[in-house]
């Protein structure tokens, strides 16, 4: 059993072959942390790891002879106000105005498997033997409130999940003002903090900073996880690389406003907090009511950033993503957005679809502009019925026509939004998030529907259900093109307004649940102006996410490289688009555009009718290549080799689990004059295995040790002569039977 409770020492040890996490019940009844890191051998007591000292100005929470000073004690779920002056994991206002709490150990339960935490998304198990969980119940007798901390450790992965649930029993109501999902205290500050930050079209750039005393944080108060900061952060030792060194990673399974905070105290200990952002949240609990926090997934690696990422990839691809599409190879698609924008009719769409079928595309996707009076972005949102002037046979007719061509049909929706110039808004002007007598801030000429209200979600579901039920739809791209302002519900009382941000996300999850339950074989792809809501909460419902609206191959190298820190290749929507690129006005080779997009859920974002005969030939070859190797690419083990944030070139590869096959890619940013030689060193292969390596139209044999330690010579002159700037090359590596 990978969770042990030592009765004598009152300690819990969570461990597997890779990681240990040790909790103690302290003298005052609260929970402390003794250790988190590489697996250590179990023993009856780890009390020697407990550290606290009554330093000057420290307040003692227990009397002599065993005084306890919380200010310098590592805790599991701390609260501010009784001697710990750092930020706490919870703040609860009581009827007398006090915010002082005292959650003490009451009981615990250890069990095989992992429970759901509905209505929130979370990781799961299919077999109870895959993981072990512990629920530790703490009790505050003054409030008459239970706090249940749940930990799950996976048997084969260095992954531990955390979440908290408040259950209020007292007659007097309490108000949650801060309810973090997890707190982790570490004994030193010798870390770099790594996070993924950016903006529209440059989402998830890698940012690294050295920890210093004080607060370092990432956050969103936008109502979405955001393009600005992904809900994920890493603490890594300063000598850690992709392939060696210690890493602690934290990922929040949530799609709304959040806070990820790292605090270093005056004595150089480090506290990590992650959960719903307290500045957009208050939640009243009456007697008998409860509140569930989102899940945090913590991953430990003793062997660098690649191992950390591979753990997340395995867990999220196989035990967060679920349903029909989890283990299936994703279809090659063509989306008409950059080909036509909203200027299309049925003839134009079917002409593009027919050419796509000729190239080998398996799924045609109709993007924005098919509904209501939608010719530009200032009208029609919310009217989820077809524009018969554009599509006289409706979505039902068009979808069947596309299937008759020989492809599946997909469609774009943006169900959380509404234009004021729409039938929906004219009928229900109070259905948007807005404050009476205040300016209603537009963004992209649209407003946010109040998904905290069940009747709003019901109405949107009814419209979408009718359209889907009448048509042959195999894929839905769910977009969300603005953040939340004026977060106020006209249906909620004044003292309930602090719940709206969170209830909005619960409404989004509810609509996703209804649609994916009723239509389990539809492939959903989430989108938010590209990657502004690329988070684990979305992956639970939609197994892939449109990575970024920036489709330029050179820019995508950075975006996709950094996204792979936590998200699997199969989740990354990546398309080949036309040149000059619509976002960067840059021209990159067609081969490189495909070589970048291959490492994701692959597709095209252009009108193939506009390509030359030679380009069309290349597209057919690209699609066939992807079909041949997409299972390897989507389900293999991904390695980052050369970072575009540290060098001018980029390299990565994906390796089959049995190490018998791999695809490696090398991308040159700018051409070089009279350049020296280059050795491309691979990763993840078997040293003594003989491989056939195919690249540049030639096949040669090498042992794995040669490929990893000596490397493959790459002729820079061949890059210069054949392609030039933004050149790339793929290597197919396969076990040589003889």
Which residues are annotated as catalytic?
479, 549
**Cβ contacts of 118 within 8 Å, gap of 6 or more:** none
Q: Is 51 helix (H, G, I), strand (E, B) or coil?
A: coil
Take residue 103 and report the two structure tokens written for it.
């959650």
Take residue 401 and report the two structure tokens written for it.
């026509």
* Nearest of 98, 76, 240 to residue 177 by alpha carbon: 98
**Cβ contacts of 357 within 8 Å, gap of 6 or more:** 364, 405, 406, 407
Q: In the beta sheet, which residues pair with residue 700? A: 693
Please tell me what DSSP assigns to residue 170.
S
Backbone φ and ψ of 171, nearest 5°: -70, -35
Q: Where are the alpha helices (DSSP H) in 250-393?
A: 304-319, 337-340, 346-359
Take residue 484 and report the two structure tokens written for it.
């939340």
Burial class (CB in 10 A: 0-12, 13-18, 19+), 135: middle
Take residue 394 and report the two structure tokens written for it.
């409706």
CA 412 – CA 526 distance, rounded (Å) = 10
Backbone φ and ψ of 726, nearest 5°: 60, 35
CA 93 – CA 79 distance, rounded (Å) = 12
| Residues 193, 235 contacting (CB under 8 angstroms) | yes
Take residue 174 and report the two structure tokens written for it.
């309490």
CA 725 – CA 527 distance, rounded (Å) = 31
| Residues 550, 556 contacting (CB under 8 angstroms) | yes
Q: In the beta sheet, which residues pair with residue 176? A: 92, 283
Take residue 584 and report the two structure tokens written for it.
């960067």
How far lies 454's CA from each of 118, 231, 330, 603, in Å?
Answer: 17, 27, 33, 36
Beta strand 728-735 with 661-667: parallel, antiparallel or unpaired? antiparallel
Please tell me what DSSP assigns to residue 659.
S
CA 358 – CA 658 distance, rounded (Å) = 35
Peptide bond into 452 cis (omega under 30): no
Q: Is 601 helix (H, G, I), strand (E, B) or coil?
A: strand
How far lies 709's CA from each of 61, 77, 339, 705, 731, in Å?
Answer: 57, 46, 45, 6, 16
Cβ burial 289-327 (10 Å sphere, 16+ → b, else e): eebbbbbbbbbbbbbbbbbbbbbbbbbbbbbbbbbebee
* Nearest of 368, 373, 359, 362 to residue 339 by alpha carbon: 368
């Amino acid at each position: 059993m990978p969770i042990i409770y030592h009765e004598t020492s009152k300690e819990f040890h969570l461990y597997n072959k890779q990681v240990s996490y040790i909790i103690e019940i302290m003298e005052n009844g609260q929970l402390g942390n003794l250790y988190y890191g590489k697996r250590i051998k179990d023993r009856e007591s780890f009390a020697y790891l407990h550290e606290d000292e009554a330093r000057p100005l420290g307040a003692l929470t227990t009397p002599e002879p065993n005084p306890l000073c919380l200010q310098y004690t590592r805790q599991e779920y701390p609260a501010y106000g009784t001697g710990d002056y750092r930020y706490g994991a919870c703040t609860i206002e009581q009827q007398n105005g006090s915010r002082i709490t005292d959650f003490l150990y009451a009981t615990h339960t250890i069990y095989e498997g992992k429970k759901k935490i509905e209505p929130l998304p979370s990781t799961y198990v299919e077999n109870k033997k895959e993981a072990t969980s512990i629920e530790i119940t703490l009790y505050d007798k003054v409030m008459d409130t239970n706090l249940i901390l749940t930990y799950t450790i996976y048997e084969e992965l260095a992954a531990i999940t955390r979440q908290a649930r408040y259950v209020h029993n007292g007659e007097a109501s309490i108000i949650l003002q801060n309810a973090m999902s997890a707190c982790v205290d570490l004994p030193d500050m010798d870390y770099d903090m790594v996070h993924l930050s950016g903006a529209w079209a440059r989402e998830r750039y890698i940012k690294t900073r050295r920890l210093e005393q004080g607060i370092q944080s990432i956050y969103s108060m936008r109502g979405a996880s955001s393009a600005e900061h992904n809900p994920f952060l890493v603490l890594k030792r300063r000598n850690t690389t992709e392939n060696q060194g210690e890493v602690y990673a934290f990922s929040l399974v949530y799609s709304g406003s959040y806070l990820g905070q790292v605090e270093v105290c005056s004595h150089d200990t480090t506290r990590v907090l992650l959960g719903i952002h307290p500045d957009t949240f208050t939640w009243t609990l009456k007697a008998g009511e409860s509140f569930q926090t989102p899940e945090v997934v913590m991953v430990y690696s003793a062997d660098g950033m690649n191992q950390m990422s591979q753990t997340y990839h395995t867990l999220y691809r196989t035990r967060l993503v679920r349903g029909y599409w989890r283990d299936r190879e994703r279809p090659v698609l063509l989306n008409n957005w950059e080909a036509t924008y909203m200027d299309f009719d049925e003839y134009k769409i079917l002409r593009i679809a027919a050419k796509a079928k000729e190239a080998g595309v398996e799924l045609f996707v109709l993007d924005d502009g098919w509904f209501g009076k939608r010719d530009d972005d200032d009208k029609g949102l919310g009217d989820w019925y077809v524009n018969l002037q554009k599509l006289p046979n409706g979505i039902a007719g068009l979808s069947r026509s596309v299937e008759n061509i020989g492809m599946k049909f997909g469609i774009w929706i943006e169900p959380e939004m509404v234009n004021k110039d729409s039938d929906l808004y004219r009928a229900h002007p109070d259905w948007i998030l807005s404050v009476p007598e205040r300016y209603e801030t537009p963004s992209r000429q649209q407003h946010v529907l109040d998904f905290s209200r069940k009747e709003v979600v019901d109405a949107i579901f009814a419209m979408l259900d009718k359209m889907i039920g009448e048509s042959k739809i195999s894929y839905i791209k769910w977009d969300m093109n603005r953040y939340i302002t004026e977060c106020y519900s006209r249906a909620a009382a004044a003292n309930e307004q602090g719940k709206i941000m969170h209830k909005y996300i619960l409404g989004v999850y509810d609509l996703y649940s209804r649609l994916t339950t009723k239509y389990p074989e539809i492939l959903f792809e989430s989108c938010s102006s590209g990657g502004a809501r690329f988070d684990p909460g979305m992956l639970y419902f939609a197994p892939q996410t449109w990575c970024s609206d920036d489709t330029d191959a050179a820019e995508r190298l950075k975006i996709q490289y950094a996204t792979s820190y936590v998200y699997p290749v199969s989740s990354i929507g990546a398309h080949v688009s036309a040149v000059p690129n619509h976002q960067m006005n840059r021209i990159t080779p067609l081969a490189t555009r495909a070589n970048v997009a291959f490492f994701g859920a692959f597709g095209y974002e252009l009108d193939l009718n506009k390509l030359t005969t030679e380009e069309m030939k290349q597209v057919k070859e690209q699609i066939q290549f992807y079909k041949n190797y997409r299972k390897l690419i989507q389900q293999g083990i991904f390695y980052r080799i050369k970072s575009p944030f540290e060098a001018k070139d980029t390299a990565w590869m994906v390796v089959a689990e049995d190490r018998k096959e791999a695809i490696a890619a090398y991308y040159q940013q700018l051409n070089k004059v009279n350049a020296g030689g280059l050795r491309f060193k691979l990763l993840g292969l078997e040293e003594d295995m003989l491989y056939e390596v195919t690249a540049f139209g030639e096949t040669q044999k090498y042992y794995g040790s040669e490929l990893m330690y000596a490397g493959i010579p790459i002729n820079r002159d061949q890059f210069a002569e054949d392609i030039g700037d933004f050149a790339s090359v793929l290597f197919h590596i396969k076990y040589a039977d003889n």
